[in-house]
Amino acid sequence: MRNHNQRGMALLVVLMITALMTMIAVNMNDYGLRAVNRATSTQFQLQTKWLLLSAESLVKRQQLSPLPVDKIHLSQSWARADQRMVLDGNPVNFSLRDRQACFNLNGIGQNRGTEGEKETSNRVYTQQVFHSLLLTLGLDATRAKNMTLALVDWIDKDDLARQGGRESAQYRDHQPKLIPANRPMLNISEFRVLAGVDQALYLRLKPMICTLPTQNLRINVNTLSPAQAPLLAALFLGEMSVETAQQLIAARPANGWQSVNDLKRFTQDSSTTFTQAQTAITLTSDHFELSLWLDEEQHNNRIRSQLQRDGHVFHVISRQYGLSD
């Protein structure tokens, strides 16, 4: 009986050891598979990154560098939607967007002086344009004014709030706590946190605003879409209706307007607004956004590059990898 019990215990120990070894083997195999998957994924991501960067370089050289310096319009090849190229047998999709077909939020502070210095006429005009844009979107005059001044206070260098504006003291009770950047915006998402900006307004403004690494307001009217007609109307501070702006864009020549003066006949003859608008209107662009992506939806195979022109050379000033707003 004793030998029988000993044999039973020995068998139980053997079974336990076998089970333990099996578990260890399974875990080691699982760990090995995960390690292989991680290595494969890392290799794929690196290959994808360099493939997209190569495509970026090719697009700059083939699509952008040949563009004329003095005129950019939507009939040029860069403006075609969702284009495709093949590199080493891999299809790469890309699209280009003119980043001067929008209101540069940083331009609202152009020509600002030192603290306490009187604002220049150009600066007042850019604020009037933004204020007019808000009015065309249905905001009442008080809210439009306060939001315009809040944007100016967010960007300017001082901590002195304008009447109706917002600086640190006015954001003290905000949750989460906010401190005005007192510098140019880097992304339009920063605009979302300003006082008075709700999601509905942000989504309506989003197609018409941008942030450029310059404090100049220069809008290319040759690349505005019909949906951006409120922006064109805002440049003339209410002297041009949104309906007229829509008709203008729809009737725009295929190769764009040849001169800013082509728009003069649509404003009042004795108006000084056109003279002001000329300071903000251009027929060319120095800033573009390039989006590149692959077809594999299970990976974030996308790069969004911000490009700036210097003569016929385009430089990358920033990149975003993966999906982004």
In the chain the domains, ranked by start, together with CATH numbers, are 103-282 (1.10.40.60)
- Say which residue, 280 or 157, is predicted with more confidence: 280
Name the least confident of 89-93, 131-135, 243-247, 320-324: 320-324
The predicted model scores a pTM of 0.80
Show Cβ contacts of residue 192 under 8 Å, excluding neighbours closer than 6 positions. Answer: 199, 202
Looking at the predicted structure, is the pLDDT value of residue 297 above 70?
A: no
pLDDT band at 177 (very low <50, low <70, confident <90, very high): low
- pLDDT at position 172: 56
Tokens standing for residue 176: 């989460």
- pLDDT at position 249: 94
Average of per-residue pLDDT across 22-30? 77
Q: In 3-state terms, the chain is what percent helix, strand and coil (to 5)?
A: 45, 15, 40
Looking at the predicted structure, is the pLDDT value of residue 299 above 60?
A: no
- Say which residue, 254 or 12, is predicted with more confidence: 254
Looking at the predicted structure, is the pLDDT value of residue 109 above 90?
A: no
**Nearest alpha carbon to residue 126 among 112, 113, 142, 140:** 112
pLDDT band at 25 (very low <50, low <70, confident <90, very high): confident
Looking at the predicted structure, is the pLDDT value of residue 7 above 90?
A: no
Looking at the predicted structure, is the pLDDT value of residue 113 above 50?
A: no
pLDDT tens digits along 196-228? 888 999 999 999 999 999 999 999 999 999 999
Tokens standing for residue 29: 């195999």
Average of per-residue pLDDT across 235-257? 92
Tokens standing for residue 100: 């001067």
- Say which residue, 279 or 299, is predicted with more confidence: 279
- pLDDT at position 182: 78
- pLDDT at position 112: 45
CA distance 258 to 286: 18
- pLDDT at position 165: 47
Average of per-residue pLDDT across 160-165? 50
- 62 to each of 56, 59, 288, 312, 315, how far by Cα in Å? 10, 5, 14, 11, 14
Looking at the predicted structure, is the pLDDT value of residue 163 above 60?
A: no
- pLDDT at position 68: 94
Q: Identify the bridge partners of residue 103 per DSSP, sorted by sequence position.
A: 209
Name the least confident of 8-12, 96-100, 161-165: 161-165
